[in-house]
Amino acid sequence: MASVLEKTKSKKIVFPTKKELSEAMATYTANLSAKFCKERGYFTVVLSGGDLISWLSELLEPKYQESIEWSKWHIFWVDERVVPLDHEDSNYKLAFDGFLSKVPIPIANIYPIDKDCAALGDAKSAALLYEECLKRLVNRNIIRTYKSSGFPQFDLQLLGMGPDGHMASLFPGHYQIKEKANLVTYITDSPKPPPKRITFTLPVINCASYNLMAVCDEAQADAVAKVFNHNFDLPAAWLTADVEAIWFLDQAAASKIPKGL
Ligand SMILES: O=C1O[C@H](COP(=O)(O)O)[C@@H](O)[C@H](O)[C@H]1O
């Protein structure tokens, strides 16, 4: 039986260093930005939290600052911790401080979770409101929809994976990975703190045109090996995309992938 990874043309590229991975991620993102800005006048980008944000720093280099059509970017989060937007655990704050505040993306094109739900720690309402936000942007044709399903289709998602194989806030052994009807769901007992989070559901994640999963370091090597061994207990093993799902790994993260995979 063809595995999900084979069926969906998942690829991997192993980089000698994080710096090289970061440079390649910047080139990949800039090329897609040029393509989508030209084709449709918008570029919808979904960010995750975690280490990924520091690897985006290459996009702050002058050659990208000057060439990218930042005003056409629209920024979303694949998952968010339901904490105040200025809290250290907020994925929005992480991305804003480390990246978004340093590029000229209009603030109106940046879509964090509802600030009141965030402040109150109301994960259920935060998920509902984020889903409504996505639907509004679909109606305005800023977000495309996937073929006949009507699910939102983002141009590029930049993702990370935890050492337990979680992706977005879809954790191993938690039911959210099976959610098919909603666009956005929530969790109140995340095994990784903080416990309250919202997350895109797997169908939305996998509708994206391009999914780039960036993973570095030895601590992730076991999970990476399990993913490439098609162990579907790990949410990240389910990652696909409409056009391309690609794994960017450093040598340490790739070190336990069996030869030939
Ligand atoms: O909690 C989260 O963790 C994952 C993985 O983070 P990393 O630091 O191991 O790269 C991240 O992708 C997700 O957005 C975040 O909420």
Is the CB–ligand 1 distance for residue 79 below 6 Å? yes
Burial class (CB in 10 A: 0-12, 13-18, 19+), 87: middle
Is the CB–ligand 1 distance for residue 48 below 6 Å? yes
Task: State residue 91's pLDDT score.
Answer: 98
Question: How many angstroms separate the alpha carbon of residue 56 from the centre of ligand 1?
Answer: 14
- 6-20, 38-52, 94-108, 121-135: least confident range: 6-20
Residue-wise pLDDT for 195-242, tens only, equals: 999 999 999 999 999 999 999 999 999 999 999 999 999 999 999 999
- Which structure tokens are listed for 144? 């495309």
CA–CA separation, 19 and 34 (whole Å): 23
Residue-wise pLDDT for 143-186, tens only, equals: 999 987 889 999 999 999 999 999 999 999 999 999 999 999 99
Residue-wise pLDDT for 1-48, tens only, equals: 344 545 445 699 999 999 999 999 999 999 999 999 999 999 999 999
Question: How many angstroms separate the alpha carbon of residue 166 from the centre of ligand 1?
Answer: 8
Torsion of CA 47, 48, 52, 56, to 10 degrees: 10
> Distances from the Cα of 196 to the Cαs of 48, 121, 257, in angstroms?
16, 7, 33
Is the CB–ligand 1 distance for residue 220 below 6 Å? no
Task: State residue 193's pLDDT score.
Answer: 98
Is the CB–ligand 1 distance for residue 49 below 6 Å? yes
Alpha helices in the chain (DSSP H): 4-7, 18-40, 52-55, 62-67, 91-98, 115-120, 123-139, 202-207, 221-228, 251-254
Q: Which of 92, 169, 186 to mutate to test the pocket of ligand 1 (most atoms within 8 A of CB)?
A: 169
ipTM of the complex: 0.97
Q: pTM for the whole thing?
A: 0.96
- Closest ligand 1 atom number to CA of residue 220: 9
Task: State residue 10's pLDDT score.
Answer: 67
Is the CB–ligand 1 distance for residue 164 below 6 Å? no
Set out the domains of the chain in order of their start, with CATH numbers: 15-254 (3.40.50.1360)
User: What SS3 class is residue 77?
Assistant: strand
Task: State residue 2's pLDDT score.
Answer: 40
Q: Cα 97 to chain center, whole Å?
A: 18
Is the CB–ligand 1 distance for residue 165 below 6 Å? no
Task: State residue 4's pLDDT score.
Answer: 52
Question: How many angstroms separate the alpha carbon of residue 146 from the centre of ligand 1?
Answer: 26
